[in-house]
């Protein structure tokens, strides 16, 4: 997993509450068997017209927001189904962080598991960021996980909090597999000293049968 310490990037404002995961990555694109290639389908039904041409009114198609790496969103972002494809699509489009007042719980966990940082700020702070993003073309934010704050070059600063263990993993760039592999020696030692499954099964069968009926005497 890619480390996240701090990131400065262009902000794109998605001014819609309750954006669900089917809007983020529609169901027809979930048939892919790989974990890659979802970026082009992000917000597909909003980004494209029925004839397949880009909709110029959608925020990500507007020239001033091209190349955005921080998504500014409204409350309850990522609601709906628990598909992990949603953070994959956002990340593969190019987003490193999402700033919103609240996220759906499973979506938030999926983001953290994949190195995409969901940042919860107070509604007033998010409202101010929407104002600044609209007023200032090329508006950028710095999302600093090490200091757990969001800031800009004009004096805006807001604190956020991430679960300490999730924060550590993001800062170090480790996922569940990495955490498991870090204990490989201890796991190997345990496997070497524990009884085999056949020994456990024989012991259980012997206890069930009892002495003289196929069981083993102590």
Please check whether residue 119 is in contact with residue 100, taking contact to mean a CB–CB distance below 8 angstroms.
yes
Query: What's the confidence (pLDDT) of residue 136?
Result: 97
| pLDDT exceeds cutoff 60 at 130 | yes
Check: CB of residue 44 under 8 Å from CB of residue 21: no
CA 8 and chain centroid, separation: 18
Task: Report pLDDT digits (tens) over 11-40.
Answer: 999 999 999 999 999 999 998 888 999 999
Q: How confident is the model at residue 199 (pLDDT cuts 50, 70, 90)?
A: confident
Q: What is the pLDDT of residues 90-119, one digit of tens each?
A: 999 999 999 999 999 999 999 999 999 999
6-174 CATH choice from 3.20.19.10, 3.30.210.10, 3.30.450.30, 1.10.3720.10: 3.20.19.10
Q: Provide the pairing of β-strand 6-13 with 70-72.
A: parallel
Question: For residues 135 and 217, what is the distance between their CA atoms, to the nearest angstrom?
Answer: 84
Q: Are strands 117-120 and 140-144 parallel, antiparallel or unpaired?
A: unpaired
pTM: 0.83
pLDDT band at 217 (very low <50, low <70, confident <90, very high): very low
End-to-end Cα distance, the chain: 52
Q: CA gyration radius for the chain?
A: 24
Three-class secondary structure of residue 200 per DSSP: helix
**Would you kindly state where each structural domain of the chain is located, as residue ranges?**
6-174
CB 128 within 8 A of CB 150: no
């Amino acid at each position: 997993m890619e480390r996240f310490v701090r990131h400065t990037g262009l902000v794109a404002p998605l001014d819609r509450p309750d954006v669900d995961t089917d809007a983020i990555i529609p169901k027809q694109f979930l048939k892919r068997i790989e974990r890659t290639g979802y970026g082009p389908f992000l917000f597909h039904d909003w980004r494209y017209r029925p004839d397949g041409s880009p909709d110029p009114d959608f925020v990500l198609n507007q020239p001033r927001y091209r190349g955005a790496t921080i998504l500014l969103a409204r409350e309850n972002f990522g609601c709906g189904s628990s598909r992990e494809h949603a953070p994959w699509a956002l990340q593969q489009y190019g987003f490193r962080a999402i700033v919103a007042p609240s996220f759906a719980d499973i979506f938030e966990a999926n983001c953290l598991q994949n190195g995409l940082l969901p940042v919860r700020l107070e509604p007033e702070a998010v409202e101010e960021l929407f104002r600044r993003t609209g007023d200032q073309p090329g508006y950028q934010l710095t999302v600093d996980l090490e200091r757990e704050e969001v800031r800009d070059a004009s004096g805006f600063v807001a604190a956020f909090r991430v679960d300490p263990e999730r924060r550590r993993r993001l800062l170090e760039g480790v996922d569940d597999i990495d955490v498991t592999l870090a204990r490989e020696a201890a796991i190997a030692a345990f496997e070497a000293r524990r009884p085999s499954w056949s020994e456990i099964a024989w012991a259980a069968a012997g206890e069930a049968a009892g002495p003289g009926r196929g069981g083993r005497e102590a």
